Chains A and B, each alone.
Chain A
Amino acid sequence: AQSVTQPDIHITVSEGASLELRCNYSYGATPYLFWYVQSPGQGLQLLLKYFSGDTLVQGIKGFEAEFKRSQSSFNLRKPSVHWSDAAEYFCAVSEQGQGFSFIFGKGTRLLVKP
């Protein structure tokens, strides 16, 4: 069965510092991978997605993620964090075949120190 693990429940970084949020998935075939952000009082917003091709994908708000099949990982990165990046981040995996499902990780809450 598919699963998504986000090992870090909370992460705190200083404004201007780099960020990496970890995501590991368990899936038999090539997964479809996503990162979403949920800011306080707002709905989920898609940051980026990976379907195939180039394993480094660029998203909105200066985020990028790298798909590493050998490590079953899809980590989210940003070179320089802004205070407005404080939010909860969710990694998700999907499959599409006989049916459709969408599995989210439990999320990582990012705190940004001034």
Chain B
Amino acid sequence: GAGVSQSPSNKVTEKGKDVELRCDPISGHTALYWYRQSLGQGLEFLIYFQGNSAPDKSGLPSDRFSAERTGGSVSTLTIQRTQQEDSAVYLCASSLAAGVYNEQFFGPGTRLTVL
């Protein structure tokens, strides 16, 4: 079946603009995760959803970042008033359910460049 898909694959934006990144999980997966991969910083866990709810939003880097998931499927990560330090690859993953025992399957990522 289809894997995790993310769109767009690349996004170039100007500083101060808002961007929306989309993640389409594997069908039937109730858990969805967002990560940020920055040069020299490795992979940073941002937020996860079980169904439509995000139990812990403390991993989001600032209040300019928000994420939502509706219908238990597609999720959107929104970054408002983008800054150059937001430039990174944003990865999404999904699993059957949230938790360590369920393998996460990763999408190809969205490369965000803020000029």
Interface membership of A96, Cβ < 8 A: yes
The reply to whether B108 and A42 form a contact with Cβ atoms under 8 Å apart is yes
Which B residues are within 8 Å of any A CB, using their own CB?
A: 3-4, 33, 35, 40-45, 48, 55-56, 59, 91, 93, 98-101, 103-104, 106-109
A11 located at the interface, meaning its Cβ lies under 8 Å from any Cβ of chain B in the complex: no
Chain A residue nearest to B99 (CB atoms) is A96
| Chain B residues in 8 Å Cβ range of A90 | 42-43
Residue of chain A at shortest CB distance from B40: A106
Nearest chain B CB to A74 CB, angstrom units: 14
Find out whether the CB atom of B99 lies under 8 angstroms from the CB atom of A99: no
Provide the bound-state CA to CA distance between A104 and B106, in Å.
Answer: 14
Partner of B45, one of A41, A46, A101, A105: A101
Q: What range describes how many residues of A lie at the interface?
A: 20 to 34
> Residues of A at under 8 Å CB distance from B?
32, 41-46, 49, 51, 90, 92, 94-96, 99-107
Please determine whether B55 and A99 come into contact, CB atoms closer than 8 angstroms.
yes
Q: Do B91 and A102 touch (CB < 8 A)? A: no
The residue in chain B whose Cβ has the minimal distance to the Cβ of A91 is B42
